[in-house]
């Protein structure tokens, strides 16, 4: 029996604990939120991230510690690392927390990224635009997620407005990428250095938040190119655990956007659509166990559910025959506008059947008018130009 400590008690920690139940693992979560949704699956230490007493308790009582989001203070992860193993390594956490450090490292490793420029002052912003030209994207270096902490600069008059919005902190300006497709590669690396990769996943976002992920979606050549990029990052950190690398596909070339040193929203489909989920393999990796197969068990398409959890049954006769291939995941979180409250994954053996079933479900969820499911058909051949 191993006890896994997790810094964070959100839905990712919850799904890690669900995956660990069949492995005989026990969990302790440290999270300042009294209503942390993972808490019902283990013990909850309700304390701030920098609470030394709580951190020492977690470190002493855990066989290994991991984290479920990258804004855990690196100092807290390092303190626990002095008490017990912490995976992924705190250095990966440190780099991922700052977009300038992140982009600089990827550039050093030969991973293609959009041109960027550090911005601390108004003159820096003007210099950035002179070098990068418009359109560009101004972003906070820290704490941005789901489209927060950034502004697109299309016209000169956007500069002052964006500076007023974001200019009281360290920033980075990046050349705007008019991408053809957004995608992500998720991989796991074991303590022995062996790596496994899930199929490169195609993603659609709505208002900066992931709406849909579909896998598999790309040919083997593109898969191999994405695998090579994330492998460089994992080898650099001597990484253990699951990592996600978000990518843009533009004119047949892959550009890295950011990496996440943890299990990732775009990999939730693996619970129902892969031989081994990203959550089980993360636990296998940090516990020193052999990694499981990442082969697709079926074609899969995942919808994020935001704000509220819809009913998991329907009176629609047209959907009745399909429900056995529709998999609902409720995070047991309090409903709130824009909050990730759950996800639902559609599986199928054929592309046409998957998309037909997904279209019916999109209608039931009320998002059919907002999502162009046809654009997801056929992988690269369907890219919208």
Q: Give per-residue pLDDT as tens, 119-150.
A: 999 999 999 999 999 999 999 999 766 667 88
Residue 34 reports pLDDT greater than 50: yes
Q: Please tell me if the domain spanning 3-86 has the same topology as the one spanning 181-382.
A: no
pLDDT value of position 52: 96
Angle at 194 between CA 76 and CA 184, to 5 degrees: 70
Helix (H), strand (E) at residue 213? strand 209-215
pTM confidence score: 0.93
Alpha-carbon span 63 to 85, nearest angstrom: 7
Per-residue pLDDT band at 207 (split at 50, 70, 90): confident
Domain ranges of the chain: 3-86, 115-175, 181-382
Q: Would strands 64-67 and 3-7 be described as parallel, antiparallel, or unpaired?
A: parallel
CATH architecture of structural domain 3-86? 3-Layer(aba) Sandwich (3.40)
- Give the chain's largest Cα–Cα span: 62
Which CATH number fits the domain 115-175, given the four candidates 3.90.1640.10, 3.40.50.970, 3.30.1490.20, 3.30.1490.190?
Answer: 3.30.1490.20
Mean pLDDT for all residues in the chain? 90
pLDDT for 74: 84
Residues 6+ apart with CB under 8 A from 261: 70, 88, 92, 93, 96, 237, 239, 241, 243
Q: What is the mean pLDDT of residues 326-347?
A: 92
- C-alpha span between 162 and 25 (Å, rounded): 47
Quick one: average pLDDT of 251-275? 97
pLDDT digits (tens, 9 = 90+) for 147-197: 678 899 999 999 999 999 898 899 999 999 999 999 999 999 999 999 999
Q: Summarize the confidence of residues 43-48 as an average pLDDT.
A: 98
Give the C-alpha distances (Å, rounded to integers) separating 370 from 6, 212, 363: 36, 11, 10
Percentage of the chain beyond pLDDT 90 is 75
pLDDT of residue 266: 97
Q: Which has the higher per-residue pLDDT, 69 or 265? A: 265
What burial class does residue 375 get, using C-beta atoms within 10 Å of its C-beta: 0-12 exposed, 13-18 middle, 19+ buried?
middle
CATH, range 181-382: 3.30.470.20
């Amino acid at each position: 029996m191993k006890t896994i400590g997790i810094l964070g008690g959100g839905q990712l920690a919850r799904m890690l604990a669900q995956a660990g139940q069949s492995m005989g693992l026990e969990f302790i979560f440290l999270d300042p939120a009294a209503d942390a949704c993972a808490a019902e699956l283990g013990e909850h230490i309700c304390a701030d991230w920098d609470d030394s007493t709580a951190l020492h308790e977690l470190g002493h009582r855990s066989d290994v510690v991991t984290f479920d989001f990258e804004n855990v203070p690196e100092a807290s992860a390092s303190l626990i690392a002095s008490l017990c193993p912490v995976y992924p390594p705190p250095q990966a956490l440190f780099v991922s927390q700052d977009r300038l450090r992140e982009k600089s490292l990827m550039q050093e490793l030969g991973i293609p990224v959009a041109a960027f420029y550090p911005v601390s002052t108004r003159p820096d912003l003007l210099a950035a635009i002179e070098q990068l030209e418009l359109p560009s994207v101004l972003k906070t270096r820290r704490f941005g997620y789901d489209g927060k902490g950034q502004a697109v600069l299309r016209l000169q008059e956007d500069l002052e407005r964006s500076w007023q919005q974001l200019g009281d902190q360290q920033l980075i300006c990046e050349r705007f990428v008019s991408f053809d497709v957004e995608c992500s590669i998720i991989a796991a690396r074991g303590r022995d250095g062996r790596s496994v990769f899930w199929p490169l996943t195609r993603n659609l976002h709505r208002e900066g938040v992931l709406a849909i992920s579909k896998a598999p979606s790309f040919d083997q050549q593109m898969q191999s190119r994405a695998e090579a990029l994330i492998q460089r990052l994992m080898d650099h950190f001597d990484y253990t655990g699951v990592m996600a690398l978000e990518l843009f596909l533009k004119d047949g070339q892959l550009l890295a956007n950011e990496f996440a040193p943890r299990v990732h929203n775009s990999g939730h489909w693996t619970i129902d659509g892969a031989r081994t989920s990203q959550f089980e393999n993360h636990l296998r990796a940090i516990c020193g166990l052999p990694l499981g197969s990442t082969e697709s068990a079926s074609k899969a398409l995942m919808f994020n559910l935001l704000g509220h959890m819809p009913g998991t049954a329907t009176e629609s006769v047209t959907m009745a025959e399909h429900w056995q291939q529709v998999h609902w995941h409720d995070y047991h979180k309090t409903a709130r506008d824009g909050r990730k409250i759950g996800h639902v994954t559609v599986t199928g053996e054929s592309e046409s059947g998957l998309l037909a079933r997904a279209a019916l479900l999109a209608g039931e969820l009320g998002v059919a008018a907002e999502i162009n499911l046809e654009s997801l058909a056929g992988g690269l051949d369907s890219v919208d130009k």
